[in-house]
Structure 1
Amino acid sequence: MAQVDTAETAQDAAGGRDTGAETWRAAIRRAIHNGSRPGPWKRGPVLAALALLLGLSMLLHAKIPNWIGNLGSLVETFLPWFGLFIPVLLAGALWRRSASATVALLLPVMVWLNLFGGLLGDKSHPGGDLTVAGHNVGADNRDPAGTARDLAASGADVLALQELTPQARGTYEKELAKAYPYHTVQGTVGLWSRLPLSDTRPVDTQMDYGPLAATKPVDTKLTYNRALRTTVATAHGPMAVYVAHLGSARVNPRDGFSTGHRDRNAQALAAAIAADQNERVVLLGDLNGTMDDRAFNDITSQMRSVQEAAGDGFGFTWPAGFPVARIDQILVRGVKPQGSWVLPATGSDHLPVAAGIKW
Structure 2
Amino acid sequence: MEVEGSPWRRGRLLAFIAVLLAVVIGLHGLVPNRWGNLGSLVATFLPWLVLAVPVLILAAVLRRSALAALLALTPLAAWLGVFGPQLMPVEPAAYDLTVVQHNVADDNHDVEGTVEILLAEDPDIVALEELTSENLPRYEAALGQRFEHHTTQGTVGLWSRHPISERTRVDIRPAGIEASWDRCLRAVVQTPEGEVTVYVAHLPSVRLGPRGLAANSRNRSAELLAEAIAEDPAREVLLAGDLNGNLMDPGLAPLTDQVSREEHGFRFTFPSALPVVQLDHVLARGAEVTELKVLPRSGSDHLPVVAYVSLGQ
Residue from 180, 188, 191 that aligns with 1:231: 188
2:303 is aligned with 1:347 = no
The residue that corresponds to 2:10 in the other structure is 43
Residue from 247, 259, 274 that aligns with 2:230: 274
- SS at 2:251's partner residue? helix
Cα drift, residue 126 of structure 1: 4.4
CA contact (8 A) 2:282 2:289 kept: no
The residue that corresponds to 2:38 in the other structure is 71
The residue that corresponds to 1:179 in the other structure is 146
Mapped partners of 1:282, 1:35: distance in 2: 62
Counting only pairs closer than 5 Å after superposition, residues 190-229 of structure 1 correspond to structure 2 as 190-206=157-173, 223-229=180-186
Cα drift, residue 249 of structure 1: 0.1
2:114 is aligned with 1:147 = yes
Q: Which amino acid aligns with 2:208?
A: V
**Sequence identity, in percent?**
45
- SS at 2:134's partner residue? helix
Mapped partners of 1:132, 1:261: distance in 2: 27
Cα drift, residue 106 of structure 1: 4.0
2:200 is aligned with 1:243 = yes
Give the greater-gyration-radius structure (CA). Answer: 1
Higher share of residues assigned helix? 1
Mapped partners of 1:207, 1:36: distance in 2: 61
Cα drift, residue 36 of structure 1: 6.0
Calculate the TM-score normalised by the size of structure 2.
Answer: 0.93
The residue that corresponds to 2:212 in the other structure is 256
Mapped partners of 1:266, 1:131: distance in 2: 25
2:240 is aligned with 1:284 = yes
Cα drift, residue 191 of structure 1: 0.3
Gaps of 5+ in 2: none
Deviations 1:205-252 (A, max 9, x none): 0256xxx9xxxxxxxx96331001111111121111110000010122
Gaps of 5+ in 1: 1-33, 213-220
Q: C-alpha root-mean-square deviation of aligned residues, in Å?
A: 2.1
- SS at 1:355's partner residue? strand
Q: Number of matched residues?
A: 310
Mapped partners of 1:158, 1:113: distance in 2: 35
CA contact (8 A) 1:246 1:287 kept: yes
Q: Which amino acid aligns with 1:232?
A: V
Residues 1:81 and 1:340: Cα distance change in structure 2 (over 3 Å): same
Residues 1:229 and 1:43: Cα distance change in structure 2 (over 3 Å): same
CA contact (8 A) 2:174 2:217 kept: no
Deviations 1:90-132 (A, max 9, x none): 2222444423223323432222112111232333514311111
Cα drift, residue 345 of structure 1: 0.5
